[in-house]
């Protein structure tokens, strides 16, 4: 059986997968932190202020335009 590890039961596999996911999430957060610091230095205060406003505004508008369509779509997919 290709791709299946011998000797790992499902609890060990879940623990291993959780550990790997946690490690990559921490690495991702660290990289985002340094990316934001670099972007803020490059754009200076005025440019970074505008960029932050645009991201916040599109995030808020995205919540309202979604109107629950993604969750209803997931419900349709799981009910098949």
Residue 1 lies in a domain: no
What pLDDT digit, counting tens, does each position of 2-17 carry? 556 566 789 989 999 9
Residue 27 lies in a domain: yes
Across 3-7, 34-38, 47-51, least confident range:
3-7
Residue 64 lies in a domain: yes
pLDDT mean over 40-54: 94
Report the pLDDT value the prediction gives residue 19, as an integer from 0 to 100.
97
Residue 5 lies in a domain: no
Residue 22 lies in a domain: yes
Q: How many domains does the chain have?
A: 1
**Model-level pTM?**
0.59
Residue 50 lies in a domain: yes
Report the pLDDT value the prediction gives residue 80, as an integer from 0 to 100.
54
Residue 65 lies in a domain: yes
Residue 43 lies in a domain: yes
| Distance between CA atoms of residues 33 and 41, nearest Å | 13
The residue assigned the tokens 């985002």 is 32
| Distance between CA atoms of residues 27 and 7, nearest Å | 29
Containing domain of residue 55, as a range? 10-78
pLDDT mean over 61-66: 83
Residue 12 tokens, joined:
């060990």
Report the pLDDT value the prediction gives residue 70, as an integer from 0 to 100.
67
């Amino acid at each position: 059986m290709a791709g299946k590890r011998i000797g790992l039961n499902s609890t060990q596999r879940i623990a291993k997968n959780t550990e790997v996911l946690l490690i990559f999430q921490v690495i991702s957060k660290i990289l985002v932190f340094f990316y934001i610091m670099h972007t803020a230095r490059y754009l200076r205060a005025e440019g970074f202020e505008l960029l932050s406003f645009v991201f916040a505004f599109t995030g808020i508008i995205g919540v309202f335009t979604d109107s629950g369509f993604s969750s209803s779509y997931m419900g349709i997919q799981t009910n098949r």
